[in-house]
Amino acid sequence: MTKKAKYDVTEKVKEALLEGLQKEGLQWFKPWKSGDNAPINHFSGRAYRGFNQFFLNAVMKSRGYESNEWATLNSIVKSGFRVKTDEMTKYSEVYNWKISYTVFKPKGSGKWYSKLEECIKKEKCEAKDVFHSFSLFYFRVYNISQVEGDIKPRRVPTEEVEVNPIESAEKVIRDYENANTDLTIKDVEQDRAYYSPSEDKIVMPLKKQFKNVDNYYKTLFHEMIHSTGHESRLKREGIVDFTYFGHDTYAFEELIAESGAMMLSGLSGICTDCGDDESNSQAYINGWVKRVKMEDSKAIVSALTKSAKAVDYVLGE
């Protein structure tokens, strides 16, 4: 992909994300209910990962599609279907990175080797001396609502059943604690929730101090996403090299944490808009988004990519 093509893709993605954030604020991140309608490939059933989760979910909501199932034109035609004529230009795009080539370059050497064996034979070369070149590519997909013919959703809607959202949230927390034994999560009767990187500790008010229990879990998920940035985990700049509140690095980390918390809440069946607890961060992040639009076209995409990675880390995926 050419430099101009990469720029065009980044700009297109950024514009879609900014539009969603500015119209709906943080509620733009509200994910599919209990994970039952996450974006997937219709024919393979494979879930789309990373940033594509946010992007396809936003497209589904903005266009009013009933299903969050997608497919390429080629796979649609091969399966005996066709895209509706008036929908042909209304495709969406899925973005991925692939390794273009791999070479080996010993430290201090000016030579490159395509094979590790050759590198070892001629110089002091180790497997860690590998260098990968990545290329961004994308392919077009259509929602199955845009397809002609009797194409039925892969996931059959089920009747609403009563679930215990508290236990589902507790399981996410319990599994994360068990996988990260150095991390401490503690409830204390006080008025603030925070994550301390130096102590690797999350401190929360008691559940009874919240207007409702859903807000307790959403707040805790926010702090858990912060904790994934610890130097022993994903090592994010906003946590490892924290500067000060109000700095753009802090706002960037807050966007990661808040969007990640919204996703974990939805996947756990927790209500994400059961109170006004997010009003302050909403205004703060939206103010930052306006500055980002002018200054850094890649920041939003980067934040959501890191957010999705943090969610996967919490879930052990």
Output the pLDDT for position 34: 44
Q: At what angle do helices 3-24 and 299-314 cross, to 10 degrees?
A: 70
Say if CB 226 and CB 260 are below 8 A apart. Answer: no
Q: What percent of the chain has pLDDT over 70?
A: 68
Section 279-294 average pLDDT = 56
Show me where the domains of the chain are located: 3-95+139-148, 100-134, 166-314
Lookup result for tokens 């101090």: 209
187: confidence class by pLDDT, cuts 50, 70, 90: very high
Q: What percent of the chain has pLDDT over 90?
A: 32
pLDDT tens column, 75-111: 999 999 999 999 999 999 888 766 655 676 676 676 7
Output the pLDDT for position 145: 96
- Mean pLDDT value across the chain: 78
Range scoring the smallest mean pLDDT among 80-89, 101-110, 209-218, 253-262: 101-110
pTM over 0.75: no
